[in-house]
Amino acid sequence: MLLHRNDGACQAKGFYTYDAFVAAAGAFPGFGTTGSTDTRKREVAAFLAQTSHETTGGWATAPDGAFAWGYCFKQERGATSNYCTPSAQWPCAPGKSYYGRGPIQLSQDRAAGRVPGFGVITNIINGGIECGHGQDSRVADRIGFYKRYCDILRVGYGDNLDCYNQRPFA
């Protein structure tokens, strides 16, 4: 399923393991265990798609296709700032940066204070950047990963895959 996560070209080689995934999923008893079999499969596919998008090492002509390269990186590449927006509620720690780390890629100092649950949709994850302004290649990339995992799990995609015309969450 995660064909190239241990490829020598991937900085996260050896970092993401099946056992770690099972342990993390076990910490959230409702993850992939609620609803019909199709709903459960779609939830797992959605999680893998969102996290694969955030950790991808794929490119358009990559071996096995661009969507076979999820879980290649474990931190944001090319961060151009420390992602700190000072506020009284979420103060920035001196000398710290808040660039995306891990497959959920929490960035910004405010994200460090509140972690979203599994099964989040693109609009919740990155709506202010990717949603509400028509087609966006990043959203299409997330959808590509999602469709790949749904195909592997032999489940239909469901409806409303994009957020092109949705108002971003504030």
More confident residue, 115 or 158: 158
Tens digits of per-residue pLDDT, 79-93?
677 777 777 766 777
- Average pLDDT value for residue range 47-61: 91
Q: At what angle do helices 137-153 and 122-130 cross, to 10 degrees?
A: 160
Residue 83: how many other CB atoms lie within 10 Å: 20
68 and 48 Cβ atoms separated by less than 8 Å: no
Average pLDDT over residues 134-154: 92
Helices (H) and strands (E) in the chain, counts: 4, 0
Catalytic residue among 43, 54, 76, 130: 54
CATH class of 18-153: mainly alpha
| pTM score, whole prediction | 0.70
- Give residue 81's pLDDT: 73
Q: Is 76 a catalytic residue?
A: no
Per-residue b or e along 128-151, where b marks 16 or more CB atoms closer than 10 Å to that residue's CB: eebbbeeebeebebbbbbbebbbe
